Structure 1
Amino acid sequence: MTSTASSGTPTGAPGDTAGATPPLLRVQGLRVTFPGRRGAADARAVDGVDLDIRRGEIVALVGESGCGKTTLARALLGLVRPTEGRVTFDGAPLTYSARALKAYRRRAQLVLQDPSGSLNPRHTVYDIVAEGLRIHGHAGDERTAVAEALSRAGLRPPERFFLRYPHELSGGQRQRVVIAGALVLRPELLVADEPVASLDASVRGEILALLLRLRTELDLSALVVTHDLGLAWNIADRVAVMYLGRIVETGPVEQVLTAPRHPYTQALLSVLPEAPGTPVVLTGEPPDPSYIPGGCRFHVRCPVLAGGEAERAGVADACRTGDLEILRGGDESQVACHWARAEAAVRASGPPPR
């Protein structure tokens, strides 16, 4: 398998092929920094990301806690303003006036991971779901819209839930109320941040099945933020693996999760219960985003470099000092790893002559 990663930072329309339909959401060169405390350097929470999401597509954004996934998700919805780069939705750049953001959020909705924390305990289910309609001045029949959203989210008959409060519901029912609150505005894009992390295993499958059904019925696109590669396998069409503010491997979910090329992706997969072999335990914690190391940002924890494989491949110095470019936002398989590219080049050259 040869690497298809870009040889430079993309400046045009990343990932498009001739005649392809433009993505619903496009992110180009996105960076989000936060001021450092007490004179420290700025924290680069998102440090150069390109990402496309097409209509009807589910993309999983995976990585450890603290790698920048949630900051990226919030930036996509205009909840955090990028320091650099841009977000384009349905061909139009996202602007940050209150009016423009309000219009955008009719079309792009956030589903949070903790339904208990995101539902007002003093409001009934009806009022929680109707809130978006009231904010955006819905002109139709409110009761019908709320009932339809609850029904689509799997709470049937919907009228039975109108006057209930969040504490009267199970965890799975509360998450369905959160989803109904997003669906009531008939969005085109859902950004789901760890949508099943707080749920029991038996309920997780139901919520994942619901998201897949909604994609089919409503032609919804979705970005699912998760640390769980098993979840990505079950729900996503494509996966983007994020480490220290940047996507380091991306491609179709079957390809990335059955033949991972980046050592970080390999380590994440190795700890799944069904994974063969010995789990790879990464040493230390991810570096401080205020002080991102030079070269490959994973090199200080990389088992391939520590084990001598990068040295044998002749790329150890590049791993420590050679910068890697931003991966394009398209749907082809890409990896930002000197060692993986060296291995791909060896395979592409074929066996040595006898």
Structure 2
Amino acid sequence: MTVRLHNDGAEAAGETAAPPVLAAAGLRVAFPGRGGRGTARAVDGVDLEVGAGEIVALVGESGCGKSTLARALLGLVRPTEGRVLFSGEPLDYRGRALKRYRHRVQLVQQDPSGSLNPRHTVYEAVAEGLRIHEGATAEEERRVADALSRAGLRPPERFFTRYPHELSGGQRQRVVIAGALILDPEVIVADEPVASLDASVRGEILRLILDLRDELGLSALVVTHDLGLAWNIADRVAVMYLGRVVEVGTVEEVLSDPRHPYTRALLSVLPEADAGEPVVLAGEPPDPTRIPSGCRFHARCPVLASGEAEREGIADRCRTEDPGALPASGGDRAACHHARLHREAGAGE
């Protein structure tokens, strides 16, 4: 594994009795299927917590529901069931309350080229959120300058009149981050924050997110398909498959000792993982309008395909018995019959 960037002081965040700053409790989000056929269960019973000063990576393939979950946590999508909690209080979806919430929980979008208006200067782009939430203020210029400076664009005044096309990809992403920082949020939700950037710039943006956590006490949910990014930035990792979190734990637990076959498959393709031969998963993730019975991963599971589950006497359970949703923290780490069998066997030794 590569050397991790984050410092480990924030790992003590889980020791406090304070409620998590942001949480999903039994969250479900469903949409009508294509052409009105069935119901797509994009988020299907998720418990997830982000503690104060903690960075949580939400990892999974495209289409697994992680971006929908992030949008629900931001209040952009209303859940079908369950609740979003902020500092222990349920999210209020009424106009003024929701506006106050979005002041405190900010989105950092995936593609800075798409999220920045090409006709707006950097100053206008960063000031936009402030104007929406607080209106005209005599401190606008100072706060724009401060946000740009915190995002690593210094001296900030040099960027005020520049347009997105005049900036590098990394600079554009820093402008997007500055637009979130200007409201002094407590949490940022970063959706694939470095996916569109060159490898040479990715480390700089990840370092910036870590520095913001350390300097400002920010919490962050980082949505990514890249387990390597999770290793470098996260305190905890939640692995998502077909609408549900299937493994959760500290980054060391999940990436050094993965319990779920899906996590092991994702990890096996990382060149730095030293995890043996890459695991090639058969087929594509199932349609969320037709979630399989039993374990939702069973049709692609290498443990079942290899005959190991049959030899251990759990193959029928894998095909017919739902392992259920994972708790947000503590207790079970993986929603997997095979992992539970081995955990129980280890506990009995």
Q: Quickly name the TM-score band, shorter chain normalised.
A: over 0.9
Point out which structure has higher relative CO (alpha carbons under 8 A, 6+ apart): 1
CA distance in structure 2 between the aligned counterparts of 1:120 and 1:136, rounded to whole angstroms: 19
| TM-score, normalised via structure 1 length | 0.92
Going from structure 1 to structure 2, the CA distance change for 1:31 and 1:163 (only over 3 Å counts) comes to same
Query: Does the alignment pair 1:292 with 2:270?
Result: no
- Matches of residues 1-354 of structure 1 in structure 2 within 5 Å? 20-137=17-134, 139-276=137-274, 277-330=276-329, 334-350=333-349
SS in 2 for 1:261: coil
SS in 2 for 1:346: helix
CA distance in structure 1 between the aligned counterparts of 2:102 and 2:300, rounded to whole angstroms: 39
Alpha-carbon shift at residue 91 of structure 1 (Å): 2.2
Maintained 8 Å contact 1:238/1:331: no
Q: Deviations over 1:235-281 (max 9, x none)?
A: 00000000000000000001100000100000000000123311000
Maintained 8 Å contact 1:108/1:191: yes
CA distance in structure 1 between the aligned counterparts of 2:323 and 2:84, rounded to whole angstroms: 22
SS in 2 for 1:318: helix
Maintained 8 Å contact 2:247/2:334: yes
Maintained 8 Å contact 1:110/1:191: yes
Moved over 6 A (4+): 16-19
CA distance in structure 1 between the aligned counterparts of 2:26 and 2:311, rounded to whole angstroms: 33
Aligned residue pairs, count? 335
**For structure 1, which segment, 244-253 or 268-277, has the greater mean C-alpha deviation from structure 2 after superposition?**
268-277
Maintained 8 Å contact 1:251/1:333: no
CA distance in structure 2 between the aligned counterparts of 1:39 and 1:330, rounded to whole angstroms: 36
CA distance in structure 2 between the aligned counterparts of 1:87 and 1:171, rounded to whole angstroms: 33
CA distance in structure 1 between the aligned counterparts of 2:102 and 2:207, rounded to whole angstroms: 24
**For structure 1, which segment, 328-337 or 305-314, has the greater mean C-alpha deviation from structure 2 after superposition?**
328-337
Alpha-carbon shift at residue 97 of structure 1 (Å): 1.5
SS in 2 for 1:334: coil
- Residue 223 of structure 2 aligns with an amino acid whose one-letter code is V
Q: Deviations over 1:313-334 (max 9, x none)?
A: 1111100000122111125661
Alpha-carbon shift at residue 38 of structure 1 (Å): 3.0
Alpha-carbon shift at residue 346 of structure 1 (Å): 1.8
Alpha-carbon shift at residue 347 of structure 1 (Å): 2.0
What percent of counterpart residues are identical? 73
Going from structure 1 to structure 2, the CA distance change for 1:332 and 1:140 (only over 3 Å counts) comes to farther
Alpha-carbon shift at residue 348 of structure 1 (Å): 2.1
SS in 2 for 1:127: helix
For structure 2, the residue ranges without an aligned partner over 5 or more in a row are: 1-12
Maintained 8 Å contact 1:252/1:332: no
Alpha-carbon shift at residue 18 of structure 1 (Å): 9.6
SS in 2 for 1:341: helix
CA distance in structure 1 between the aligned counterparts of 2:260 and 2:15, rounded to whole angstroms: 29
For structure 1, the residue ranges without an aligned partner over 5 or more in a row are: 1-15
CA distance in structure 2 between the aligned counterparts of 1:344 and 1:331, rounded to whole angstroms: 14
Going from structure 1 to structure 2, the CA distance change for 1:333 and 1:317 (only over 3 Å counts) comes to closer
Maintained 8 Å contact 2:60/2:66: yes
Maintained 8 Å contact 1:252/1:331: no
- Residue 94 of structure 1 aligns with an amino acid whose one-letter code is L
Going from structure 1 to structure 2, the CA distance change for 1:225 and 1:19 (only over 3 Å counts) comes to closer
Alpha-carbon shift at residue 151 of structure 1 (Å): 0.2
Maintained 8 Å contact 1:31/1:46: yes
CA distance in structure 1 between the aligned counterparts of 2:332 and 2:170, rounded to whole angstroms: 35
